[in-house]
Each structure stands twice: as structure tokens, then as C-alpha cells.
Chain A
Amino acid sequence: MLDWLPHIAIHIPPTQALFGQLLIGLINGAFYAMLSLGLAVIFGMLNIINFAHGAQYMMGAFCAWLALNYLGIGYWPALIVAPLVVAAVSVVLERLFLRHVYRLDHLYGLLLTFGLALIIEGVLRNYYGSSGMPYTIPDQLTGARNLGFMFLPNYRAWVIVASLAVCFGTWFLIERTRLGSYLRAATENPTLVQAFGINVPRMVMLTYAFGAALAALAGVMAAPIYQVSPLMGSDIIVVVFAVVVIGGMGSILGAIVSGFVLGVVEGLTKVFYPEASNTVIFVVMAIVLLVKPAGLFGRTA
């Protein structure tokens, strides 16, 4: 009659598992935050939802992997090199393709970048297959430390700290510097800003490159945690879209906060109701759409 009791006992997880999943959630959240941040920055400036964002994240991880295996370039240089390479590729993409659709409806930007993502992913899948390839953690960050209530792997601690720093740096750059004020002004009224003698098309191009570099940096940081595979980008981009819908793209801080929070929510779901862990972010999105259609931090519907 009371046979439901043991079930409840099972569902109260040991603290180890709880904190372990919380940590994984924070890690995922770090990547969601960096990616949705890049999406928001690009959208603000280019009025384009960059579907290729996942592909750029994947290219970052791939660059690191290729550099390690073919050129012997390790993790630390890759943190700089891979974003630069991806940014360079993205500049070419912007000049060749993207700039032709700025004046069209937003949807064409989405479709164009979707096509670009398919091309990038398809080419890499042809040469490297779709199975994941391991990328070793750099020597300095192997091992873990005992926090008393859990073991914290050093690399994961580094990812959380580094991504927080990157997110904060981006926020500072956009909200608190002169360059950022140009950016924000050009978002509001590009014609007027151009009349002040600021090269807006170049700024647009560099913004796209910056957003792509951010995605690539996230990719390099993700490489030792997830396996490097051509599919890793499309796996994460849809979730990041949901994060963006939840947070609203109006605010930089909103993108960062909702990224981390949703990562943690996902991690906690894995502890208490693992079957729903893949879908929980989408359910949260549906609820947010019902309660606050503009998104939690959104300014316009």
C-alpha cells in the first residue's frame, strides 16, 4: 500500500549528484550565454538572426582540433587563433553574402545563414564524418579539487570563470565604452551615425566577425568537454534560439542571465526528472510566451 515511498526516496538525490548536475548545468549555461550573447549582438547590428552561429561555434572547436592534430598548436594558442580564423571566415561570408540581404525582410537573413550553416556542416561532415573526436584537456587544467561537498574538475571551473569574464567583458565593451556607444547608436539610426563620419558598413562587418569569434571561442572552450563533431553546432543552436526567445534580444545582460539560468534549470531537471531534461528549456519557453510574450528582458513584442 505504501509502495510509493521508496520511489520518493530514490528521487531525493544525493548531494554529490545534485551538485554534479548543477555544475554541468552551469557549464552548459556558460555556452548558452556566450552563444546567445553573440546572437544578440549580431541581431542588434545586422538585423539578422544568425543561423550559422552554431556552425561558427563548431568551426571554433574544429579549428582547435585541427590545429592540435596537424600543426601541434595547443589549447592556449587555439583560444586566440581559432576565434581569429573563424572571424576572418565570417568577414568573407559577410562581404560576399550577408550584406546583400540587410535591406530585405529579416527572414531572408535567417534563410541565408541557414544555407551557409548547411554548407559548412556538410563539407566538414564529408571529410571528418559525424562521430565525435576527443580533444584532451590542457595539462595545466587537468585534475580536480575537493570542495568538501563535491569534486570540482579544474577545467570546468576554468570554463565557468572564463565565460563569465568574456560575457562581462562584452557587456562592458558595448554598454560602457565609446566604441560600444557608436555601436548602440548605429543600431538605433545607422544613417545619422554615418553622417557623423563613422564607417557604419565596416562596423557592421566587424560586429559580425566579433559575434562569430565569440561563438568560436565558446567552441574552443567546449572542445575538451563535449566531443568535437561537425554536428555539435546544430545540436546546440536550436536550444540557444529558445534561450534567446526566453530572454528577449533587447538586452545584453538579459542574454547572459537567461543563458546561465536555463543551463542550471536543465541541469536540475536532469537530477529530478531526467526524461524531461532535453525538453525543459522548450517548456520554459512556452510558459514565458504565455506569461510574457516579449521575453523576460525583451523591450518589444
Chain B
Amino acid sequence: MTSAENAAPAALRAREAGLSARWRLALVAFFLVLAVAAPYVAYPVVVMQALCFALFACAFNLLVGYVGLLSFGHAAYFGSASYITAYALKAWGFEPVTAILAGTAVAALLGLVFGWLSIRRQGIYFAMVTLALAQMIFFVAEEARFTGGEDGIQGVPRGYLFGALDLSHSLLLYYFVLAVFLIGYAIIYRTIHSPFGQVLKAIRENEPRAISLGYKTERYKLLAFILSATLAGLAGSTKVLVFQLASLTDVTWQMSGDVVLMTLLGGLGTEFGPVVGAFILVTMENRLATYGSWVTVIEGAIFVFCVLVFRRGVVGEILALARRFAAPKRAPTPVPARPAPGP
């Protein structure tokens, strides 16, 4: 039982791009240009929504993809940060960055407590514990007075960035959201490629061995959990500026499920997968908004499809193709047993 609980999903081991540095640079440049140009070709609000969810999914992926811990309650950090930020902006008249930091700090604190509790269990128990703890936050948000119950906190003012720049200007807001996303993404990127990130991957692959090598794995797991919760909170706080709203939707288990789906669809444990997944799902939800609950049915179907035949996700499949393309002579290697040595 214990060994099975420790084993990370096979597809999680499909890892690390075999892409050369030049390709990487080209891709990064391409996506940066795309990101800067996006508000001129698409609805800025939709792109901003996608960016917030992309950051949320990346934060979630840090935990599931690199530590092998599936949290089914990430809505708790996303949602509570969004409530705090909304309240700080509306009731206390905070400056936007301070309000975002306040929300993020609360998410970090929550991540500390919940992470400390939930890393006592592994595998599916971990998923159930995080889900249950998040549901507790949902009920608290429903009952507490400052959250506005069913109505949520509506009509949140966007305020003036650093007290000077009016964020109700949609282009300015877009570039602000983009900057937040890039900062969050950079933090995750640095974490993954740091010695700390290497230890996390070691824990994912074989926790008993990491322990026997002298790593206090509990501490690493907790730190990763807090970091993940914090960045999920950053995403939730930023979302408030976009929609001027914090509501119960942000803390439901459906929200936790959505972020799992985004990551799964984009590619668990791939650096860029969650971003792709978030953009696909946000686009889909906006296109199909008129179909009501059929969106739920489609989401469920995507879950089933991904689990059964598409476990690597979009980015994972592309990387696998690229690998096969790069080494046509070798027999197709399905999934490497362990991550390739550093870049």
C-alpha cells in the first residue's frame, strides 16, 4: 500500500523538454510577442481571465507535477485571497498592489496551516484532505459576514496603481495582469530549476530514497505547498481586479476541479502545459457560456478523455513528438523512467 501511494503517476515522469536552448528562446520570444499583442486581437478581459487561471494552474502544477501531491482544494487559496483583496479594495480603499499582497499573504498563511495538516497523508488521502479543508473554507465564506454570502463582494473598485495610474483603463490593466502573471511564472520557473526543485522531483520519484539521502522531505513538501498556495492566492487576488468581483464560485470544489482539469489537459508536470490548458478551457467556457450545464458535461468528458488516452496532455504530447522527431533512429521511448539530467 505505502509504496503504491508514494508512486507518482507515470505520466508525471514524462518530463523536461528535450528542446534545445535556441528553440526555447524562440518559443519564449514568440509567446511574449503574442502576450503583448493579445489585447489588440482578442477581448482583453478574456485574455486576462485566462492569464489569471494560467497562473492558478501553474501554481497547482508546482505541487502535483513536481512533488506528486494532488491537491483537490486549491480553490481555498484562490478564493480566500480574492475575498481579502476585494474587501481591502472596497472597504478599506487599499492601493491595488497592497490589496493583492494582502490577499496573497492570507493565502500563504492558509497554505501554511492546511499544508501542515494535509502533508501528513499521501496519495488519494491527501487529495481528500485538501478537498475537505477547502470545503470548510467554502462554508466559512458562506457564513462569514464580510464575504457577502451568496452575493459575494461586488463592484470592487480597481483603484489607482501606486496611487497614480488608473487601472480602469483596460490596456493598462491588461499589462498589469500580464506583469503579475510573468512574475508568478518566473518564480515557479526558478523554483523548478533550483536545487530545491531538484529535491522536490526526487521526492516525487521516490520519497523513501530522498529521506534516506538525508532530506527532511516533510519540510520540502510543506514549503512547496505554501509556495503553491501563495501563487494560487496571487492569481485569485489579481482576478478580483479583472472582474471587480469576489464570490462563492471562487471557493467551490468545482473551482478546484477546474484547475485540476486545466493542468491535466495542458500536461501534468510540464512547465507550460497549465498555461495552455487554462487558455483552452477559458476560451471554451466563454464560447459555450450559453449552453449552461452542458459545459459541465463537456468538462467531465475531457476529464475522462484525458485520463484514459491523453495523460500527457497537450504540451506533454507535443514534447513527446518533438523527442521522437529529434531521435528518429531510436525505437520510440514511451516515457522516460526518470527526468533527464539538467539542461
Contacts and interface: CB of A to CB of B under 8 A. Distances in A.
Interface of A: 47, 49, 97, 100-101, 104-112, 114-123, 125-126, 234, 238-239, 241-242, 244-245, 275, 278-279, 281-283, 285-286, 289-290, 293, 300-301
Contact of B293 (A49, A104, A112, A125): A125
B296 A116 contact: no
Majority DSSP secondary structure for residues of B touching A: helix
Contact of A245 (B121, B139, B295, B302): B121
B296 A107 contact: no
Contact of B128 (A118, A244, A301): A244
A278 B118 CA distance: 20
B123 A289 contact: no
Contacts of A238: 131-132, 135, 253
Given A283-B136, A289-B129, 12 more contacts: A108-B307, A111-B307, A118-B303, A119-B297, A122-B296, A126-B292, A126-B293, A234-B253, A242-B135, A278-B139, A290-B117, A301-B2
A118 B140 contact: no
Nearest to B134: A238
Contacts of A107: 9, 70, 123-124, 127
Contacts of A115: 299-304, 307
Contacts of A244: 128
Nearest to A285: B132
A111 B259 CA distance: 12
A289 B300 contact: no
Nearest to A130: B293
Contacts of A105: 7-10, 123
Interface string B267-307: 00000000000000000000000001111110111111011
A157 B266 CA distance: 51
A37 B68 CA distance: 28
B10 A245 contact: no
Nearest to B301: A119
Interface in B1-39: 1-2, 4-5, 7-10
Interface of B: 1-2, 4-5, 7-10, 70, 72, 117-118, 120-125, 127-129, 131-133, 135-136, 139-140, 142-143, 253, 257, 260, 264, 292-297, 299-304, 306-308, 311
Nearest to B257: A114
Given A115-B302, A282-B133, A125 B296 contact: yes
Given A105-B10, A118-B296, A289 B304 contact: no
Contact of B307 (A49, A101, A282): A101
Contact of B308 (A97, A118, A241, A283): A97
17 contacts: A47-B4, A49-B127, A100-B308, A104-B9, A106-B4, A106-B123, A114-B257, A118-B300, A125-B292, A126-B292, A245-B129, A245-B132, A282-B132, A282-B139, A283-B136, A285-B132, A300-B1
Contacts of B8: 105
A114 B303 contact: yes
Contacts of B118: 289
4 tightest A-B CB contacts, nearest first: A115-B303, A118-B300, A122-B296, A119-B300
A108 B127 CA distance: 12
Contact of A282 (B136, B257, B292): B136
Contacts of B135: 238-239, 242, 282
Contacts of A114: 257, 260, 300, 303
B303 A112 contact: yes
Given A108-B9, A122-B297, A300 B125 contact: no
Given A100-B308, A238-B253, A289-B117, A111 B132 contact: no
Nearest to B308: A100
A110 B124 contact: yes
Contacts of B306: 111
A107 B67 CA distance: 14
Contacts of B297: 118-119, 122-123, 126
Nearest to B118: A289
B121 A293 contact: yes
A49 B128 contact: yes
Most buried by A among B142, B294, B300: B300
B309 to A, nearest CB: 9
Nearest to A47: B4
Nearest to B64: A107
A107 B122 CA distance: 11
A215 to B, nearest CB: 17
Contacts of B253: 234, 238
Contacts of A121: 296, 300
Contact of A110 (B70, B136, B301): B70
Given A104-B9, A245-B129, A285-B132, A116 B260 contact: no
A293 B120 contact: yes
Given A104-B10, A279-B140, A301-B2, A245 B300 contact: no
